[in-house]
Structure 1
Amino acid sequence: MKPLIVLLFSFTISLLIIKITNRTYDFKLSGRIAMSIMLMFTAIGHFAFTKGMSIMIPKFIPYKETFVHLTGIFEIILAIGLLVPRVKHISGWALIIFLILMLPANIVAALNKVDYQNATLDGNGLSYLWFRIPLQLLFIIWTYMSTIKI
């Protein structure tokens, strides 16, 4: 829920600032700015909640905490890439692929009732997926519309 709030709030603020400074709306730029801010926000979680996030990773993947840190760094790189005109398209496609690949971790977390912030197994469970899967789809569509679609 927090990433969605960050995304929508950042989008609204950037849209208004761009309108005031350029006298026109730039929905794609505002979308990329908002997604970048949201990615920076979620990347912080990879370092603040490493232990809990490592519980979300499927068992067959080794070095779980290192993997969590690397995905946090990757989110930061993608956040920056979305704002660089020359690489925004490749960053957008990379983010879409990343979001698709991260979905299994969210499914594992729901099945195992992972509360990643407290690193416990008493989270929301399957009801979490009713929110998370549509949210993941929203992030994918948002990224496509703001970086790839012409």
Structure 2
Amino acid sequence: MVEIVLLVAFAAALLIIRATTRRWNFALSGRIAMCAMLCFTALGHVMFPQGMAMMIPPFIPFKVELVYLTGLLEVAGGIGLLIPKFRKLSAILLIIFFVLITPANIYAAIHHIDLQKASYDGPGPAYLWFRLPLQLFFIAWVWYFGLRKP
């Protein structure tokens, strides 16, 4: 679902920018799309905090608080991509963020966590065949549209 939000937001931003400026701006469209996707995923932190907290290994304290904090970080990172002064720093921090949350996705898959229902009947390890390449795609997207020199 998040990849659909990313791609639809990219297409919409690209077409709106083209219609208003008569120019194609792929870099800005890519950053707008990532911001939109991150705001969308941040909603999950508010809507499903208990399920998302289950994705965090037991040795880490303050799980629900960490879920809310990471949701805020997603929004801040997305907005940062849109502010020229903070674009590079935001892109670097988002790439680090995507790397750091990968273990939580692996943990959730191994333990069959369904974050929406806060239960242990999720899709399991097979989910990683989709999620890990998607995580790499997000990292590449942020690098391409946030760090790469035009």
Deviation at 1:62?
0.3
Report what 1:94 is aligned to. Answer: 93
Letter in 1 for 2:112: K
RMSD in angstroms over aligned alpha carbons? 0.5
**Which consecutive residues of structure 1, in runs of 5 or more, have no partner in the other structure?**
none
In structure 2, the partner of 1:48 is: 47
| Aligned-residue offset at 1:55 | 0.3
CA deviation string 1:7-54 (max 9, x = no partner) = 000000000011111111111100000000000000010011000000
Q: Deviations over 1:35-83 (max 9, x none)?
A: 0000000001001100000000011110100000000011111111011
Q: State the AA in 1 paired with 2:25.
A: D
Structure 2 residue runs of 5 or longer lacking an equivalent are none
Amino acid of the structure 1 residue aligned with 2:5: V
* Distance (whole Å) between structure 1 residues aligned to residue 72 and residue 23 of structure 2: 34
Q: Helix, strand or coil: the match of 2:59?
A: coil
Alignment correspondent of 1:9? 8
Distance apart, 1:101 and its partner CA: 0.1
Cα distance in structure 1, aligned partners of 2:114 and 2:79 = 29
Q: Which whole-Å CA distance do the structure 1 matches of 2:24 and 2:135 have between them?
A: 26
Equivalent pairs, count: 149
How high is the sequence identity, in percent, across the aligned residues? 51
Structure 2 matches for 1:124-143, cutoff 5 A? Answer: 124-143=123-142
| Stretches of 4+ aligned residues off by more than 6 angstroms | none
Question: Matched residues in 2 for 1:9 and 1:139: separation?
Answer: 15
The separation in 1 between residues aligned to 2:99 and 2:62, in whole angstroms, is: 21
Deviations 1:90-136 (A, max 9, x none): 00000000000000000000000000000000000011000000000
The separation in 1 between residues aligned to 2:75 and 2:68, in whole angstroms, is 11
| 2:144 aligned partner | 145
Q: Quick one: distance in 1 between partners of 2:112 and 2:67?
A: 18
TM-score for the superposition, normalised by structure 1: 0.98
